[in-house]
Amino acid sequence: MTSKGRGGRQGPSFTIENLFDGYLHATEAARAKNSNDVILYRLRRVLGVLDGLGVKYLHELRERTLADIAASLEQGELSPHTVRGYAAAFRAAVRWGIRRNLIATDAMGDMVLREAQKGRERHLSKEEIAELLEALDGHVLQLPAALGVYQGLRREEVCNLRVEDVEVRENRLTVTASKNKDWRTIQLHPALLKYLPDPLPKREWLCLNARGSPWTGSWLAHHLRKVLDALGPKWSDVSFHTSRHTCASQMAESGKYTLYAISKFLGHGNPQTTQKYAHLLPEQVRPDW
C-alpha cells in the first residue's frame, strides 16, 4: 500500500487496500507530511490485521469489524490509547468511502469502540469449559481451545506449537515462541490428553486449520469468534484470550499454587501481571497471634 491511489467504485471486487489508497491520496494535501506518514503506517498495520481476519473486500466489512481489529491489536500488547489511534485511522477511511458510496451507509454502524468493563477479567467456570469443548467436538478449534484453557497458552503460542514440543510420555510441553522470547517448559494438564491426537502426528505444527495449514493468531481468533457467536449471547464477552484467564483463575482458585508459580506457568514477563488473580486465592493465613 502506498500513499497514492485512485478512488472510484469498483463493485464487489473493490478491495480495502483500494479504499485506503484512495483515502490517502484524496486527503493527504490537507495534512502535514508527518501526519500523513503516521496515518499511512497505521493503515498498513490495520490492512495486515484485516488480511489475517480474512477480510479483503469492502463488501466483507461488518459492524463488528472495528471491534475485531481492536481486539487483534490489543492481543499484540498495544495500549488502549494506541489501539484507538489505529481505530481512528480506519474509521476515517471508512467514512470517506461511505461518503463516496463505496460502502453502504448502514454497513458499519456507529463505529464506536466500547469501553472495556473495568475490574473484571472474564474467565470460564468448569461447567463452561466443558460446554465449550463439547461444542467444539470434531472441530479443528477444539485442540487450540483446550491448549488455552488447560495450558494457558497465548494464541500465538498455540499457532507456533510444534509436535515435537509436546512430550506426552515425559508429561511436559515446551513453549519456544513466547511473547517474552523466553522458553518455558510446563507440565501437561491431565485433561489435555483427551484432546491431543494419539499417537501424535508426524508433522511440524501441532494445530492446523481446516485446510491443513498452520493457524495465524488473527485467523484463530476470528474463527473462534464465529463459533462463539453461534453459541449465543452468553459467549459474547468470551475471546481466545479468555481461555488464558481461565487457566490462571482455575489455578488460583484451586489453592494449590502461589501467584509466583502461576506466573511462571503462564510465562508472564512481570509477576505483577499475575497479581490481578490474587483475590481468587483461598484465604489461608490469618495474623491472629
**pLDDT band per the 50, 70, 90 thresholds, residue 11:** very low
Angle between helices 240-254 and 259-266 in degrees, nearest 10: 150
C-alpha cell at position 28:
493527504
The predicted pLDDT at position 224 comes to 92
| pLDDT tens per residue across span 62-115 | 888 998 898 888 776 566 778 888 999 999 999 999 999 999 888 888 888 766
The predicted pLDDT at position 281 comes to 79
Mean pLDDT along residues 260-279: 85
pLDDT value at residue 271: 77
In terms of pLDDT, which residue wins out, 60 or 33?
60
pLDDT at 4: 45
Give the model's pLDDT for residue 157: 95
Residues near 26 by beta carbon (within 8 Å), at least 6 away in sequence: 7, 96
Domains of the chain and any CATH numbers: 11-99 (1.10.150), 126-279 (1.10.443.10)
- Percent of the chain scored above 70 by pLDDT? 89
The pLDDT value recorded for residue 10 is: 42
pTM above the 0.85 mark?
Answer: no
C-alpha pair distances (Å), 232 with each of 108, 146, 191, 226, 236: 22, 20, 26, 10, 7
DSSP per residue over 134-196, as a string? HHTTTSTTHHHHHHHHHH---HHHHHT-BGGGEETTTTEEEE-S-TTS--EEEEPPGGGGGTS
Q: Indicate the pLDDT class of residue 9, thresholds 50, 70 and 90.
A: very low
